[in-house]
Amino acid sequence: MSDANPRLQNDVLAKDVGVVEDAQKQIKGHLKDFNDCELRRITGLAWSEFRDERPRARLTKQTLVDAVENFGGLIVLSEPAGAAIWVDDTKWTTPTNTKDFTHVGTIKIRLELAGYENVEGTVVVARRKFVTFNGKFKRAKTH
C-alpha cells in the first residue's frame, strides 16, 4: 500500500479487521483439525498475501476463506535437530524441529547443518492438514 495516502491505508486496514473477525467462524469450520493459534497464523498469512498482491482491493469474507484454503501445514524434522530450513528457496526463521504453514502443492525442502551433507527433498502439502518432512543427515566427508 502506498505511503502517499496513509488515510486510505488506515481505512483499508480497519475494514480488513472486520472482515477477518467475521470470517473466523467459517475458517474454523473449514479447518477443524487446527487449533486457534494455527488458525490465526494461516489467516494472517492468507491476508498478508492478499494485501501484498492487491493493496487496494476490497477484501471479502469469501475471498479470505478461499485464500486460507491455499495453505497447508508443514512439520520439518531432522536428525540431528537444529538445521536451517529452506522451503521453495525461502529460508524459515526457525530451525528444525518445527512446524509452520506454506502453500499447498509440491514443495521443495533443503536442510543445512554445519558438518553434515545437505538434505533435500520434496513433500506434497495438502489443504486442511499437516504433512511431515523428516531429514536424516549424514556426516560431511572430510579430506
State yes or no: pLDDT of 112 exceeds 90: yes
Between 11 and 109, the more confident residue is 109
102 φψ region: left (φ > 0), alpha (ψ -120 to 50), beta (else): beta
State yes or no: pLDDT of 3 exceeds 80: no
State the pLDDT confidence band at 6, using cuts at 50, 70 and 90: low
Computed on alpha carbons and rounded to an integer, the radius of gyration of the chain in Å comes to 18
Average pLDDT for residues 29-35, to the nearest whole number? Answer: 88
Which pTM was predicted?
Answer: 0.83
C-alpha cell at 62: 469469501
- What residue type is 27 in one-letter code? I
Cα distance between residue 78 and residue 57, in whole Å: 41
Average pLDDT for residues 108-117, to the nearest whole number? Answer: 97
State yes or no: pLDDT of 5 exceeds 80: no
Three-point CA angle 13, 19, 25, nearest 5°? 145
State yes or no: pLDDT of 1 exceeds 50: no
* pLDDT (tens digit per residue) in 50-94: 999 998 899 999 999 999 999 999 999 999 999 999 999 999 999
State yes or no: pLDDT of 4 exceeds 70: no
Strand 98-103's sheet: what is its strand order? 98-103, 71-79, 130-136
C-alpha cell at 95: 530451525
Cα distance between residue 15 and residue 37, in whole Å: 22
pLDDT of residue 11: 85
